[in-house]
Every structure is written in structure tokens, then in C-alpha cells.
Amino acid sequence: MNAVVAMAGASVASALVVGALADPRARLAVLLGMVGPLLMATGSWVLTERTYRERPQALMSVMIAAFAFKLVFFGAYVALMIRVVALRPVPFIASFTGYLAGLYLMEALYLRRLFR
């Protein structure tokens, strides 16, 4: 659970800082660029940690299924945010990409720690 708190805390703190520095029209795009990756990273971490503790032999299949779900989710999320919500594309994509990379790096480091 500490990983979830760390991921959420780092994301919210950095979104607040970037939001304070960004153009007011870009703030919502930055925030929503963070939300999708944060939801998926924390959700997959909880699922991964629980599976590893209860049924470690099932972890690979759970992680593959989660990856497939994330591919579909992220495609739909980006399309929804750009086309329906009509966010400014550059701040949204920059935020989305940065949070996606940063949060999955954090998750990889927590995985390494979990497996030790």
C-alpha cells in the first residue's frame, strides 16, 4: 500500500506544481493527463502485489491480462480526452506521456523490491 501512496503523492504534488506554472487553459489538460496513468498504475500495482502474495504462480498471467486491458483503456482514454472532452492536445499528451513513463518506472522499482 505504500507504493500506492507514493505514486499518488508524487503525482498530485507534481500536478499541483505544474498546474501553478502552466497556462490556466492547460491546467485541466495536465490534471487529466495525470489521472489516467495514475489510476492504471495504482490499480495494476494493487493487483500485482495481491496476486504475488496470494498466488505467485499466477502473477505472469495476471500481468499479461492487465497489460492487454491497459492498452485498450489508454487508447480509449486518450481518444475520449482529445475528441470528446476537447482538451488541448499538446499539454495533455505531454502530461500523459510524462506521468505514464514516471509512474511505470516507479512501479518497476517497486516490483524489483517486491521480488527480493
What is the tens place of the pLDDT at every residue in 36-95?
999 999 999 999 999 999 999 999 999 999 999 999 999 999 999 999 999 999 999 999
Which grid cell is 57?
A: 504462480
Contacts of 43 (CB under 8 A, 6+ apart): none
CA distance 7 to 93: 19
Q: What is the domain partition of the chain in residue ranges? A: 2-115
In our burial notation (b when 16+ CB lie closer than 10 A, e otherwise), range 3-22 reads: bbeebeeebeebbeebbeeb
SS3 35: helix
pLDDT at 81: 97
* Predicted structure pTM score: 0.92
Q: Which amino acid is at 71?
A: L
Separation between Cα atoms, residue 30 and residue 22, nearest integer Å = 9
DSSP state of 88: -
pLDDT in tens, 92-115: 999 999 999 999 999 999 999 999
pLDDT interval class at 19 (50, 70, 90): confident
